[in-house]
Chains A and B, each alone.
Chain A
Amino acid sequence: MAAISREDVLHVAHLARLHLTDDEVDRMQAQLSNILEAIETLADVDTSHVGPTASVIQLENVMREDEPRPGLTREAALANAPLRDDPFLRVPTVLEEGR
């Protein structure tokens, strides 16, 4: 089960919005297969009566009053943007819908 195909690698890379070179795809296929093989040993653990732990601290939702407070200024928030068109961030064209 652990061996994953080149197509699997390309599919997951697409989900992660990650461009990989051909060499990286080859390496990733071998390395992920090895790592997944090690990870799949968890399947032997009997967890039929065990709930999942998402966080170790038992905190309820933490709420605060919905009051306006000072935050980042627009200038400070935009200062690191690779592309800007004040007072906005700019992004490259989105060519196709639903892609």
Chain B
Amino acid sequence: MSDLPLADRTITEVAAALRAGETSSRHLTDACLARIERDADRLNTFLAIDADAARRAADEADAEIARGDGADRPLLGIPYALKDIFVTRALDDDGRPLPGGLPTTAGSRILEGYRSPYASAAEEALADAGAVLLGKTNCDEFAMGSSNENSAFGPVHNPWRESTVPGGSSGGSASAVAGGQAYFALGTDTGGSIRQPASLTGTVGMKPTYGRVSRYGMVAFASSLDQCGPFARSVRDVALVLRALAGHDPRDSTSVETPVPDYAAALTGDVRGLRLGVPREYFVAGMEPGVESAVRAGIDLLAGLGAEITEVSLPSTDRGLATYYIIAPAEASANLARFDGVRYGLSAGADELWDNYKRTRGVGFGAEVKRRIMLGTYALSAGYYDAYYVKAQQVRTLIKAEFDEVLSTVDAILAPTSPTVAFPIGAKVDDPLAMYLNDACTLPVNIAGLPGISVPCGRSDGLPVGLQVIGRAFDEETVLRVADAYERAADFADLRPPTSVDA
């Protein structure tokens, strides 16, 4: 066992302790709840918790472990958090509140008080795995943002330095895992919303291949880009959670019917002979020197482990941002049309229908969401559709083809996750374009639909830096194998934020 406080250890460690009878799920759950309570004001990570429901689920898990039912269930009894973009069932068939049911807001006023009548696939899969749901985490409104400052419920703070952002949009999930409030958490990643906050909070975060995980019950942002995935404190932990999530779901027709491997078994620690490409276009102007040197050192370390490193080129990388900021807002403007004040959520109460649509949306949506709806509506409107939307889809073809070509010559790609470390809260809120640049290294991966992970690779200015590993479609195993080999050799795994003192 490590010397870390219980709440800061990995799933792998505490699961072994659970099996050995050295701790209990109830004890782990209480340790997380104590951290959540202690840091509630300081970090603002959770939008809803139900401590009693979590303790009940923990007691059930302890009973199953006592009966010896836990052998093949590595997440049994492990406390976790869901980004508040996943619906959680909170109503029974008669429309009455279920005990322990949590609201779903997507970080927006327009859904304040919404209680879902059904469960998301993620909630169901993790309940089946025996994991203990602690609550719902704060996020940028409708997952639109790179700093978590776009939440209608206040910004999340980074436990590494509270004056800085945790990244976004899954900032609450990232800070919760970094701050010892949950052993793992789920996020969603449309342009980097898992990997970028993982990078900024020193956690491991993975976006699986588009189609690998069911999105049923995930509030939609950009349907051709969205994917869900885990944050955890080790690559092995991420592999365990991904195994529980992955697979076909008939309720999400974009989920692909393809076998789900045992991801943890892929973690051999051996990268000898693996060909890893480093795209020169990812070391962009504006990248902080400390970030570049940490990432370069990470690449050198993998070379030292016997991987063959080659420089590669993805020439359309600098077109990614423009492509993304047409496609994502266009899809968002269509997806967010459903928030009309009629079936659920806020209604402004205007006494004429069309006026009520406008007033409800005008009051309910925040500034960034409005900006993206406007941008998307403009790009799809008559006269601009071909010049913007079709053009972006054509460039998307080029970006994907370049990835396919490079990944036919190398087994995976290494790159920075984010060009900067965590920046001060407020530093970029008035400059949308500067904010969008945070995702320059992550959004091309969504455009191409590939799997990507961010793994901590040291610090710059005292704040965490992330190394990104990008793989072929449905080859999460190689991505995880490279990240795990790196993590073991680099020995940053036990780094925790300075706030991790117990309690």
Contact = CB atoms under 8 A, between A and B. Distances in A.
A72 B89 CA distance: 12
A17 B322 CA distance: 25
A20 interface: yes
A56 B448 contact: yes
Interface string B335-351: 00100111111110111
Nearest to B446: A56
Interface string A35-76: 110111111010100111111110100101000000011011
Given A12-B378, A55-B254, A80-B343, A18 B373 contact: yes
B391 A79 contact: no
B91 A76 contact: yes
B352 A92 contact: yes
Identify the interface centre among A16, A51, A52, A94: most chain B CB within 10 Å of its CB.
Answer: A16
A24 to B, nearest CB: 7
A80 B115 CA distance: 7
A82 B341 contact: yes
Nearest to A18: B361
B117 interface: yes
A64 to B, nearest CB: 7
Nearest to A70: B93
B394 A47 contact: yes
Interface string B312-329: 000010010111011000
A61 to B, nearest CB: 9
A82 B96 CA distance: 15
B174 interface: no
Given A28-B371, A51-B397, A75-B93, A45 B346 contact: no
Contact of A12 (B377, B398, B432): B377
A45 B359 CA distance: 40
Contact of A89 (B343, B356, B432): B343
Contacts of A50: 394-395, 397-398
Given A35-B325, A39-B325, A47-B395, A94 B354 contact: yes
Interface residues of A, number: 57
A98 B343 CA distance: 23
B94 A18 contact: no
B256 A57 contact: yes
Contact of B365 (A18, A57, A79): A18
A36 B95 CA distance: 45
B374 A52 contact: no
B356 A92 contact: yes
Interface in A3-42: 4, 8-9, 12-13, 15-21, 24, 27-28, 31-32, 34-36, 38-42
Given A45-B319, A82-B342, 4 more contacts: A51-B394, A80-B343, A81-B344, A82-B346
30 contacts: A12-B374, A16-B374, A17-B354, A28-B374, A31-B432, A34-B432, A42-B391, A42-B392, A47-B395, A50-B394, A50-B398, A51-B394, A51-B397, A52-B394, A53-B400, A54-B224, A56-B224, A57-B210, A73-B94, A76-B92, A76-B117, A79-B95, A79-B117, A80-B115, A80-B117, A81-B342, A82-B349, A92-B353, A92-B356, A95-B353
